[in-house]
A = this chain, B = another copy of it.
Amino acid sequence: MIICTLCRRREAFFFRAYSGERLCRRCFCLSIERKVKTAISKYGMFEPDDRIAVAVSGGKDSLSLLHILSKIEKSFPKATLTAVIVDEGIKGYRDEAMKIAKKNCEKSDVGHIIVSFKELYGYALDEIAEMTEDTKLTPCSYCGVLRRRAINTAAKLAGASKVATAHNLDDETQTALLNIIHGDPIRILRVKPMLDPIQPGLVQRVKPLCEVPEREVALYAYVKKIAFQILPCPYSGSALRNDVRGILNRLEEKHPGMKYTIHRSMEKIRSLLEQSKLKTALSDCEKCGEPTVGKICQTCQILEALKRGRT
């Protein structure tokens, strides 16, 4: 029997190549929760009296995050936690995920708010996918923008002072590399673990899982017996992101710890870029009044294009 490096009592079931640790189930789960707590305190993500909204999709990441945050919240009596669930309107996929999400909320005794694309924008994602079938853009490119806005709207409805999303270490390093590969490295400033606080109209976003590798989040959900949706979204993701995911996984396999190193590199670049005063001032969208970098926000641009039938 190989024993756990940490407790030196129980049987190890997981080898963490980048640290050399062999962990038992209990120590593994504690280590994940510790990684989340460390990120929260390192980036100063929460105040003791925050009203926190958690964006919950029904997948392994968001349900693990809900589970961990509801545990942590118990030590902060002045803080509150609400799940926000976005119904994009994807038949045979989201309905199932929403059921699972709601069940998990009940189990963790966390209230929830549901907003839907249909009621917010007039179209379900399935309808948008049909309307834009002949264009080069994938449903994902619309969904990304609309879901981000929907989460913000739901968080405001919940009276939240912070909104936590379940982006993990893999998501963060993939996005950073994609920004470089797309020739848009300034965006590195925008994919940080905690958005700048004073953005009127935007609930401050935080990413407590940003230092947990994706496969460890999955393993946590599995060990904790968290029921989550396994089906992938029927609208395939970006081909380039899938390539980058593969690249990072192969690199990590050969050189354990690489994802953390890239994450730290991005932190360094980000902190230097911030010194160079690149912060973008937001203004109010001329159509909907929501915060935007330009004159008309991306959400309104998409909705206008859908209305005109020119996408």
Residues on A lying within 8 angstroms of B by beta carbon are 179-186, 239-240, 243, 247, 250-251, 254-255, 258, 261-262, 264-266, 268-269, 272-273, 275-276, 278
Contact = CB atoms under 8 A, between A and B. Distances in A.
Total identical chains: 2
Contacts of A266: 180, 185
A118 B215 CA distance: 51
A251 B185 contact: no
A183 B173 CA distance: 12
A110 to B, nearest CB: 37
Contacts of A182: 261, 265
A183 B278 contact: no
Nearest to A264: B183
A262 B181 contact: yes
Contacts of A276: 272-273, 275-276
Identify the interface centre among A179, A180, A184, A186: most chain B CB within 10 Å of its CB: A180
6 contacts: A180-B269, A181-B258, A183-B262, A184-B265, A243-B250, A272-B278
A7 to B, nearest CB: 30
A269 B184 CA distance: 9
Nearest to A275: B276
Nearest first, the 9 closest Cβ-Cβ pairs linking A and B are A183-B261, A185-B265, A275-B276, A180-B265, A276-B276, A183-B264, A185-B269, A272-B276, A183-B265
Contacts of A265: 179-185
